[in-house]
Amino acid sequence: MGFFVKLKFYIMKKIFLLIIPLLLISCGKTSENHAEGKWIKGDKQEQIEIKERQFGGFGKTMIEVGYRYNELYWAGQNENWEYAKYQLEDLEEAMQKGFERRPNREKNAKHFMTVSIPELMKAIEEKSKPEFEESFENLRVSCTSCHKMEELPSFKVQIPKVNTSVIGK
């Protein structure tokens, strides 16, 4: 198995290992002052703070966005338009959830959310590979621009070079 495939599975495993316990806990019964489970202790405010730490900031969002960005690119290259649409919708949803946790990030992502994503969705719906490639490049530039506005350390988002997707055409 190649490095990128292993990395992708490692990232997805970490995401699932974070989400599954939280889902299981939310399905359990709770008492007025104490949540079920062994690690979420304290009063309601302390429990909220523990959950917020577990969900993390925008970095966790970027892990999912990076995965979906890669899948989206290869779906477009394979002209698997249904899968490309699915990935773009989930990428957008991941960003929205990230903004709920870190609302200050939304301002710099405005162009990405209101221009780049809709343009790319139009190319996908038209099933046009040339338009997809042009819109994807605009999305990539928008990603890099947002990172720069957030004053992150020299992040330059690139076009994926190795197809690590297990989904074909």
Number of H helices, E strands in the chain: 7, 0
Name 108's Cβ contacts closer than 8 Å, sequence gap at least 6. Answer: 146, 149, 150
Chain centre to alpha carbon of residue 160:
16
pLDDT band at 29 (very low <50, low <70, confident <90, very high): low
* Reported pTM: 0.71
Residue, of 32 and 92, whose pLDDT is higher: 92
Average pLDDT of span 145-161: 84
Q: Give me the pLDDT at residue 95, please.
A: 94
Between the CA of residue 108 and those of 18, 59, 99, 114, what are the distances in Å? 27, 15, 11, 11
Q: Is the pLDDT of residue 109 over 70?
A: yes
Q: Is the pLDDT of residue 153 over 60?
A: yes
Q: Is the pLDDT of residue 28 over 70?
A: no
Q: Give me the pLDDT at residue 84, please.
A: 97
Dig out the tokens for 112 from the structure. 């990405």
User: How far, in Å, CA of 168 to CA of 74, rounded?
Assistant: 9
User: What are the pLDDT digits (tens) for 118-139?
Assistant: 999 999 999 999 999 999 999 9
Work out the mean pLDDT of the chain and round it to a whole number: 82
- 58-149: CATH topology is Four Helix Bundle (Hemerythrin (Met), subunit A) (1.20.120)
Per the listing, tokens 């994503």 go with 117
Average pLDDT of span 43-68: 85
**Percent of the chain surpassing pLDDT 90:** 41
Measured in Å, how far apart are the chain's first and last C-alpha atoms?
Answer: 21
Q: Is the pLDDT of residue 116 over 60?
A: yes
Indicate the domain borders of the chain: 1-26+42-55, 58-149
Q: Give me the pLDDT at residue 35, please.
A: 44
User: Could you give the dihedral angle defined by the CA atoms of residues 116, 118, 120 and 123, in that order, rounded to the nearest 10 degrees?
Assistant: -140
Q: Give me the pLDDT at residue 40, please.
A: 80
